[in-house]
Structures are given as C-alpha cells and as structure tokens.
Amino acid sequence: SKIFQLKKRFVKLKYSKNVMMRYGLEASMAATGRFGFFADNSGNVFCMVLVDKTPVWNQNNYDDTDASLVLEQTASELFLYTGNEVDFRAPEAISIFRKLNARNGKEIWRVSRTCRGTKIADRTNSGGILATPLLGKKNCKDLAYVIFSRMNEKNQSELVAVNRKTGKEVFSFMMKAYSWASPIDLYDKNGNMYMFFTDVRGHIYLINGKTGKLIYTEKTNFTFESSPIAYDNRIVVGVRGNKILSYLIE
C-alpha cells in the first residue's frame, strides 16, 4: 500500500486601504463554492476566491462588524446579510442591517436603528448589531431577523423581522436589555416557526416567528452571553459562570 503525505501550503491575503481604523477580524466568515466572505474591524466586507485569495469585491460596512455573515442561496442568486456596530463612531450612530448581492457586493436594501455605546469602567461597550442575523425557514422562509442592541438610555434591544425580498419591516419586538447572543429558530410539525433568544439581564423570550407575538418570557438570575442551540424541542444555553441551562418547549 502507498502512504500519501499531505504537503502544507499556506496562502495569505494581505490588504490595506487608505483608512484602516482598527485591524483584525472578529466575525465568522461565510463561504460557498469557491468564494469566501469576511468582514473586519475597520468596516470592510470582502469577497475573495478561496483557493488563491484573489479579491472579487469590497464593500464599505461603515463600522466594526462582529456579527457573523449569513448567506442565502436561491436557485439562481446568492445573497449576503451583514450588519455593523456602533463602535468607532460612538457614542451614538446608525446601525445598519443590509442585504447584499453576494456576486458583486451591491446593496439591495437596508434597515437601520440609532444605537449607542455604553461606558463601563474605563472602556465603552459597543452597540448596534452584535448577534448573528437569522434567516427563517418553512412558514417564515420570507423573513430575516436581526437584533439591534443598546438603542436607548435603558440599553434595550429591538428584534426586527424584515421581508427578505423587499426589505420592508414586518414586525419588531422590544427586549428588556441588550443582547449579543444570537436568536435561534424552532419548528413544529406543521412548519410553524418559533424564536428563542435571551438578553444579558437574564431574560429568556419565546415568540411566534411569523407574528412576533410573545409566547413566553421569564426573568432568571443568570447572565446570558453565549448563543443557544436547539435540537428537537430542547434548548441548551451556557450562562456566565459555570452553569449550562436546558429548556423543554412543550
């Protein structure tokens, strides 16, 4: 038998622009086929060829991007969803949720809110879009969801549902505190979608994904920072400290 040895081969993409506010990447990239998409701390969104790192397009995202990029593949089209923070534009600025044509980077629509940073000790925590957007499926396959954080002096968040084709807002749900944990979707046997999400002050929320109607909420004594996961009718989420919580949806 022959023994095959894999050779390590590294290909790097190094780039620069006239204005680089902050170096680094914090948002998870997205990829499909031969193309990869990533966003950086200086407000850039890139598309590149994964094999040789050739740049395809670059789009200005106006501020730091920490929320992971989300791709939507249809029969003939490819779209990218992204949102920015209010970070180096602090203390208050517009946070934008955008749908881009993933093949050329052109903007299709945008939804925005005024958000702000919060002073904590000797630093400012960012506002805006901190959690990964969510694309609905089944009876909510026409909707995209995003959470805008730190919208007012109470540091509340607003979850907004947007029609994926038109960019029109369908409903919004005001949370009691800000959140950087991503929302998740669950479905019953009839294909009805439900959403579960949390905030940093210990609130959990379960809403109807189609209407935004609140089904259940509870104030816990925990601090939610990590995103939950779901399988069947069970939700598992880690909290700050040394505990992992599990919820059953009945």
Residue 239: closest CA among 205, 207, 198, 206: 198
Give the whole-angstrom CA distance, residue 93 versus residue 171.
22
Residue 165 has a CB neighbour count (10 Å cut-off) of: 12
Which residues, 6+ apart, have CB-to-CB distance to 36 below 8 Å?
29, 30, 47, 48, 49, 50
Check whether 1 has a pLDDT greater than 60: no
Give the whole-angstrom CA distance, residue 128 versus residue 97.
9
Q: Which of 21-25, 50-54, 83-87 has the lowest mean pLDDT?
A: 21-25
Residues recorded for the chain: 250
* Cα 191–Cα 196–Cα 200 angle in degrees, nearest 5: 170
Residue 200 Cα to chain centre, angstroms: 16
Check whether 237 has a pLDDT greater than 80: yes
Peptide bond into 133 cis (omega under 30): no
How much is the mean pLDDT over the chain? Answer: 93
pTM of the model: 0.93
Task: Say which amino acid occupies 50.
Answer: L
Percent of all residues in the chain with a pLDDT value above 70, rounded to a whole number: 95
Residue 208 Cα to chain centre, angstroms: 19
Task: Summarize the confidence of residues 5-33 as an average pLDDT.
Answer: 80
pLDDT band at 22 (very low <50, low <70, confident <90, very high): confident
Residue 2 has what pLDDT?
57
Task: Summarize the confidence of residues 114-128 as an average pLDDT.
Answer: 83
Residue 229 has what pLDDT?
97
Q: What are the pLDDT digits (tens) for 31-59?
A: 999 999 999 999 999 999 998 889 999 99
Task: Summarize the confidence of residues 156-174 as an average pLDDT.
Answer: 98
Residue 8 has what pLDDT?
66
Task: Summarize the confidence of residues 212-238 as an average pLDDT.
Answer: 96
Residue 17 has what pLDDT?
74
